[in-house]
A and B are shown apart, each in its own frame.
Chain A
Amino acid sequence: MISVVSAEHVFKAAVASLGLNTTKQEVDVETLLAGAVRRIAGVRAPCSVRTLLFATKACMVGVLPEEGLTDLIEHVVDRLLTNGDLLELSSVSSLDASLPQTALFVAPPSFVMLDSGEALLFGMSEEDAMPLPDAMRRRVVQQGIRRLLPPDGSDDLAPQLRAYGYREQSLEGWLRMPARQDPFQLLERTGRALARSPSAGIVEGLIIFGDEPSQRYMKRWCEPKGLSGRFVARRAQAYGSKRWCFVELHDGQVTHLIDFPLLGEAYRGCDAAWRHIHALDARAAHPQTFDVVTSTAGTTLKLYCPIPMWAERRLELAGTRVRDASCLMAYACTAASHGDVVNFLQDNLWLRSRAC
């Protein structure tokens, strides 16, 4: 029956049609947006991030408040990338000649078995974000962007999911952790690649991540004017977001430049860049810090600078991402897991913790 409805009704109808099960009574906005982005990505990918943002936003105008909507969708897309539902791939040799240099692809339906016995589902098929039999589909719990299939006590989940065509990824494979290195080793290796790269000349629209210590990530981006040394940088490129790179400057002039990710690396450019930012800060003896806030409810880790996707995945496993406007990202951890996470951040990204 055709009728005028409220935004709330449209919200609920979309949740129902997308088959979003959740343990909560109320489905949150992030869960709905994750479902919507998956549906659009299934049919539109490979495409640019902006295509996905544009198409998702177009459907949500009138249902969700417009203010901050683009940021929210961008956040969800980023989280879907972290989770493994979407893949950001560069230089894809493909039959589709219209693909941009870097494009978003959807991962095939996949799962990873967690220590809890649950299966974390990610990826999607073209027109079905979760191609599973109905009975199993109903058991999947959606929380934000995550979809977890709990064991039902009688069956081993992995063989069942494999039988339905899902691809199993090992926990190590999903985490995609790089080999542990100290910051000196990492920077020395990249420095060698940088030295081999040809002289760069004039680079359009270059901004660099400066070496002045600051807790405010955005504030450190600046013009290269008068600076010398090696820096993480971003450079303009035609019709796309700025490209991540590593540069050597002499009095503000670029002498060498190498793009991230380095040839053959399976990480995103931003992941490589953020790791190098932390390495540069650690080598300069002013590592980035994060806060460990302990309360009766548990422990929250507050980070003020972006971390690579593999580190986010590790944090996702140990805790739950929570909203906290006072920092860039925050994770609520259990008392049992927070020690491991703190060590992880110190060992792999050379961050320094502060107890609050």
Chain B
Amino acid sequence: MLTALMSRLDDWEQRLEGHFETLAAARRLENHPVFALEHPLSEDDVAAIASDLRKWLALGEALRHHWLLWVIYSTELGYDYDGLEFWHSFERRTPHWRSDPTRRSQLRRCFHRFQTAYNGFQPSGPWAAQFSIIAWPITHALLPKDLQQQLARLLYEERYLIAEFAASSAPQVGRLLRLSAHGSARLLNLLEQEELVGLIVASLLRKGSESSQPTIAPTALARIIRDLESRRDARTWLQEARKAADAVTVRLANLRLNRLGVSRVADAAASASREAQLRSVRPGLKVSRKDAGSWQCTLELPSFAGVATLEPRYASFLRENRCTVPAAGATWYPRGWLLNGGQRRKLVEWPDPAKPVLRFESWDGAIHHILQSECRISDGPRWLFRIGSDGNGIHVQAPKVRPGHSYLLLSTSPVKADAEFSEAHIDCKGVTAVEFAVDERPSEEAVRGLASLGLAVERVLRVWPVGLPPVHWDGEGHAEWLSGDEISIAVAHSDSCEELLVQVAGQQLKLSRLEVSPTLVCLGRLADGVYTMTVSATYQGGVGGVQLRRAGARAELDIVVRPRRNWTPGVSAHDGLIVSSLPAHPSLEALLDGRVAIHIAGPEHRTVHCRVDLRDAGGDGVGQIALGDLKIPASADWLRSALNSADVVSDSSDLLLQAASATLVVDGDELGTIRYPLVHRLAPIRWVSRTAKGIEVQLLDDTDAEGLLQVTYSSFRHPTKPSEVETERGVYRQISDGGLYTARCGNEWAAIVVSPPTKIASLEQLAAWPELREPLRSGEAVVELLSAMAAWSGAKLVGPLARQRRAIALRGMEDQLIATMCWPQWLATELMLRGRDLAEQRAALENQFNRHLLSYAIAVSSAHSEIIAPSIEDGRQSLLAVSLRFQVCGDERLCEAAIRLAGSPDSFLKWSGSAALALLDGLSQNPVLVRAARLAAILAQEGVERASAGWVQ
């Protein structure tokens, strides 16, 4: 029986070796990698092999005898991976796996061999580095089932951009998707492997294209597509993405065809399309009346989505870099800001026409060139605005004015005000303004006055878009349409017009014996590009009693035709609801810790509903955390209040531990819904919990280390005294003793504070206050205390009142730290004063300083808000300045250490690293400095938490 088993496995192994050798040889020329999922086996074959491998394993055999079969077996499990845990499921489906603790490493060696033998794909990226074993089977599964729907949706949302670059290299396509990604941690992990994603996307989009060389074996691709299309949403998303890709393919094929015949035409078409995209990012200027005689100017920045389609690296650059509009203030806008539709900013100073209106945080030669050539305001020294009946003025490029219209003229050099030009106030530095109106029949003097400013009066010929509105029209000479639009133009001419000549895109139309005005002209559907349409009119002689100096008139219209910009649902642009976050890409943990400032703008006093949506690895909802309703405008602090007002985090702890992705949702009813993706990454080792009759927790371990797991428990009463506890991975255990559970495996660790439900009659019964007031005697002991504080404060929370009970434990530990670093008498004073009036606390604590240092204490108190500042550098400098003045301390780093220890002791070790002992030693020799920092922290009250959130580690 054993021989038969071995023989069967050997046969499979041999057959598969042959298959992958052939596959690798075929791919060698183009250096395309091979994936284990590209095996030729049927479902039944895979089941039969799996059964035999399990039997083989029961005999205690090593994996290397049938290494290729183990690669296939684990890849198949990777294809079914649910995104939450790998090894637990693997071991459950593979009895006897754990009988040999080295099997995880053996499996890695099997994959290394696959990689060497067949140019197998090598996982890369931070996730692959952190999960260095399970990354192999999951990556070789190409697109595991849990990611198929998510990737299809992302492809749909980015279909126009991806379609443009579908023919680019796989890493370029993968990089584009990574930069546009939002979704579960699993999807983000996949997208880190840019080449892999590029290959998958190219294969998915080229389905049906017979000419394309398969980069993924047709059987594997068919399987993925079949599974993906089993969900209707995913099927439609993929179909739409393919349609977009096909449209680009057809366009490119036509270009190639043309190239064979008239190459110049084809090249010109490609270059014209590119020029149109570039031209479409020219900024606009608008003036609006603020109050009588006073104006303000707005810069209108078009979306850069079109530029992003020109080159993959442009898209990458725009998604990776923040930008600022110097003429509108010092604000830095988040990454990708220019891709979220057009933006408007009020100008505080007039932009230099020689410089781009935008500046990015990093430099790219090509982008800089685009900014320099397109993203500037037009040359001065004067800018003309035609005032519409809505009271707003649009910048008119052509220096022409028309009878019967009003204008505002901005100038860098003052224009002399007189009867024609009345001085106006413009709320923008660097320009002055005059307002004027052109009479229906302007006098010769008025015409001369306008001419002296470089402005001509146009009376006889007018051209404007008619019927289909352009997406941009400056009212005089510049209009923008979208690809496929049928463009119509109206030409108004005086009755004496004898002949009109219209020229555009190499065509011309001559019209004589004109009877009606306006004349409507259809330009048809122009290809993407930039055009100048000219209209020349010939007249009999004078017009309207005014003797013309020329026999004809000429009007020009700049036309841009460009592709439509894609819409991304849930993104804030110019809607009635604007949500912004600081930092721009917050994590779920930071959000729930109140370390994220969320601003919500919109119609004042409207109510919006805020929540966090949680999804599992497959993208299905696991629950929501309600953050409550709030009125617009919401200041940055609303989130902290929402988190504090109800114990939303503890109440949702089970959900949080199951979630693989999270989104902050701000629902403004008719105003729309803004979705802010929150970064949420699963750690290799982590706790999950469930609440049934009590609280049960389970430890999931996807680390590469085998067996070296240490779990400790610290009670609420003795938070600094951990004891080891026996814990089996992947098994739920009921928790009856509340406190901190910490699991450590190699360099990875995870902590959870469990608060089992208990009946309490008063706050005193909430948790026993830890008795930790004795000062510690050594630096090592202080490091241990700080380490415990870090573990408690970084732990996930489970169970009712977990946050409050943890706070009590942390307070106890903080007391011990104060007793040690500031001495027991100081702690006694602090304890006595807790809850008292702030002025009383200040006076009593200042008195704790020696008489000759009382002035120092008063100076520190006065400067407390500068010492406990959002910028640690500013705080450090403030404390140093005061301490130097009173000869307390001249060491800048020690000042920072004192502030951090006083304001954020749980993050002290993370900041100080290996210098912790030396710094603590320095502080212990200067308790006055620590007391000073502590005094500032106490006086800053809640400001400590807010400020310390911004202290960079």
Contact = CB atoms under 8 A, between A and B. Distances in A.
Contact of A98 (B341, B346, B471, B672): B346
Contact of B486 (A6, A16, A105, A173): A16
Contact of A106 (B298, B389, B472, B575): B575
A1 interface: yes
B40 interface: no
Given A96-B298, A108-B575, A239-B391, A56 B469 contact: yes
B567 A5 contact: no
A134 B468 contact: no
A61 B504 contact: no
B467 A63 contact: yes
A169 B472 CA distance: 31
Given A13-B467, A36-B468, A264-B605, A2 B670 contact: no
A10 B341 contact: no
Interface stretch (B104-112, B289-297, B776-784): B289-297
B583 interface: no
B523 A125 contact: no
Given A58-B473, A128-B567, A17 B468 contact: yes
A10 B465 CA distance: 11
B670 A126 contact: no
B502 A126 contact: no
Contact of B603 (A42, A91, A126, A131): A91
B518 interface: yes
Interface in B513-545: 518-524
A55 interface: yes
Interface string B481-519: 010111010101000000000101101110100000011
Contact of A4 (B237, B286, B521): B521
Contact of A87 (B391, B670, B673): B670
B671 A95 contact: no
- Residue picked from A45, A87, A159, most chain B C-beta under 10 Å: A87
A290 B574 CA distance: 40
Given A48-B390, A62-B518, A87-B671, A128 B564 contact: yes
A89 interface: yes
A43 B288 contact: no
Interface string B344-357: 11100000000000
A7 interface: yes
Contacts of B296: 97-98
Contacts of A48: 390-392
Contacts of B909: none
Given A59-B467, A89-B576, A98-B286, A2 B603 contact: no
Given A17-B485, A133-B240, A165-B567, A50 B389 contact: yes
A183 B522 CA distance: 57
Interface in A41-55: 42-43, 45-48, 50-51, 53-55
Given A87-B576, A167-B672, A4 B520 contact: yes
A87 B237 CA distance: 30
- Residue picked from B232, B298, B471, B488, most chain A C-beta under 10 Å: B488
B576 A105 contact: yes
Contacts of A134: 243
B303 interface: yes
- Residue picked from B292, B565, B603, most chain A C-beta under 10 Å: B603
A90 to B, nearest CB: 6
A84 interface: yes
A61 B486 contact: no
A23 interface: no
A130 to B, nearest CB: 10
Interface in B145-187: 153, 157
B633 interface: yes
Contacts of B468: 13-14, 17-18, 36, 39, 59
B669 A169 contact: yes
A96 B345 CA distance: 6
B601 A92 contact: yes
Contacts of B467: 10-11, 13-14, 59-60, 63
Interface in A83-135: 84, 87, 89-98, 100, 105-110, 123, 125-128, 131, 133-134
Given A93-B601, A131-B567, A239-B289, A2 B509 contact: yes
A346 B861 CA distance: 67
B570 A17 contact: no
Contacts of B824: none
A123 B734 CA distance: 51
- Residue picked from B475, B484, B522, most chain A C-beta under 10 Å: B522
A294 to B, nearest CB: 35
Contacts of B567: 109, 125-128, 131, 165
Contacts of A62: 466, 490, 492, 518, 520
B514 to A, nearest CB: 10
B335 interface: no
Interface string B127-150: 000000000000000000000000
B564 A160 contact: no
Contacts, number: 229
B488 A5 contact: yes
Interface in B545-604: 564-565, 567-570, 573-576, 578, 601-604
A306 B517 CA distance: 39
A329 interface: no
Interface string A155-186: 10001100111110100010010000000000
A83 to B, nearest CB: 11
A252 to B, nearest CB: 28
B236 interface: yes
Contact of A51 (B390, B488, B509, B569): B390
Interface in A282-313: none
Nearest to B471: A43
Contact of B509 (A3, A105, A109, A126): A3
A43 B519 CA distance: 28
Contacts of B475: 58
A325 to B, nearest CB: 27
A9 interface: yes
B464 interface: yes
A43 B288 CA distance: 17
B746 interface: no
A39 B469 contact: yes
A108 B668 CA distance: 11
B746 to A, nearest CB: 42
B606 interface: yes
A317 interface: no
Given A7-B520, A89-B576, A2 B233 contact: no
B233 A163 contact: yes
A356 interface: no
A202 interface: no
A126 B233 contact: no
A312 B607 CA distance: 23
Nearest to B486: A13
Nearest to A16: B486
Interface string B432-446: 000000000000000
B292 A96 contact: no
12 contacts: A14-B468, A50-B389, A54-B389, A58-B473, A60-B466, A98-B286, A107-B670, A108-B575, A110-B670, A123-B672, A133-B236, A133-B243
Given A16-B486, A59-B469, A167-B673, 16 more contacts: A2-B524, A4-B522, A6-B520, A9-B522, A10-B466, A13-B467, A14-B467, A17-B468, A36-B468, A58-B473, A94-B601, A95-B344, A96-B344, A127-B565, A155-B232, A166-B569
Shortest beta-carbon contacts, A-B, top 10: A165-B569, A125-B567, A50-B390, A108-B672, A14-B467, A10-B467, A105-B576, A93-B633, A97-B346, A14-B468
Interface of A: 1-7, 9-11, 13-14, 16-18, 36, 39-40, 42-43, 45-48, 50-51, 53-56, 58-63, 84, 87, 89-98, 100, 105-110, 123, 125-128, 131, 133-134, 155, 159-160, 163-167, 169, 173, 176, 238-239, 263-264, 266
